[in-house]
Amino acid sequence: MTWHVGFIDNYQQTGECCLKLRHGKRGTQLRGWFGPLARHLYSLTQPQFHANQSKTSKHLAIDKQMAQFLLIQASFFHQRCFHMYQVKDDIKRQNLNFSHEVCELLLFIRMSNHHPSHKTIQLFVQHQIPWCEDFEKKIEDLLAVKLIQKFSHNNLVFYDKNPYPHDHLLDLKTLKLEDFIDREYSPNQQQLLICQIP
């Protein structure tokens, strides 16, 4: 039985990557991972990917044993990250209604190297927790207990794992938000400084 692993770097210009495990003959997707977890799993299979593939999109045929290895590694790494990023402890400490989806959303935001946009969160939900229908309500719950924070500019929305007030820089060209830490700010470079009052 053959399986296929597909990897896409910088999926839909989000800065996050996507990994999909599909059944070879049927073409049905067994699992999908998005963001840091996808990158970790890709690193386990990277030596097996063909060198002549595109840099941004890669596909690899694997056997059943390798597919099982990926699923087991995903489970172990996932549980380790829940513990390392204190996801379940913080949710319980804030008396939030405990659910798998809330844990997944908080873990993704905490693991991301970016300030994920609303679109990025939607893509994460589609690939990793597609059964979650009310993720916006769960994001609002995380915001309400100050485990994350939200930034809006015009029709753009970003989320930050750091819930404490701090300044940000929005690149108006790439539409990426990042922390403003002792950097030179130049409005001529199409950047917007977003200041927060503590």
pTM higher than 0.75 for the full model?
A: yes
- pLDDT 10s digits, 26-82: 778 889 999 999 999 988 877 766 443 555 557 888 888 989 999 999 999 999 999
The confidence score (pLDDT) of residue 45 equals 79
Q: Enumerate the H helices of 35-178 as residue ranges.
A: 36-45, 64-84, 87-93, 100-111, 118-128, 135-144
- Among the residue ranges 15-19, 75-79, 168-172, the one predicted with the least confidence is 168-172
Other C-beta atoms closer than 10 Å to the C-beta of 181 total 9
- pLDDT 10s digits, 92-150: 999 998 899 999 999 999 999 999 999 999 999 999 999 998 999 999 999 999 999 99
The confidence score (pLDDT) of residue 43 equals 87
- Among the residue ranges 7-16, 31-40, 136-145, 184-193, the one predicted with the least confidence is 184-193
The confidence score (pLDDT) of residue 52 equals 39
The confidence score (pLDDT) of residue 169 equals 86
Other C-beta atoms closer than 10 Å to the C-beta of 75 total 10
Instruction: Indicate the residue type of 73.
Output: Q
Longest Cα–Cα distance in the chain: 58
- Flag whether pLDDT at 198 surpasses 50: no
- 124 closest CA partner among 58, 35, 37: 35
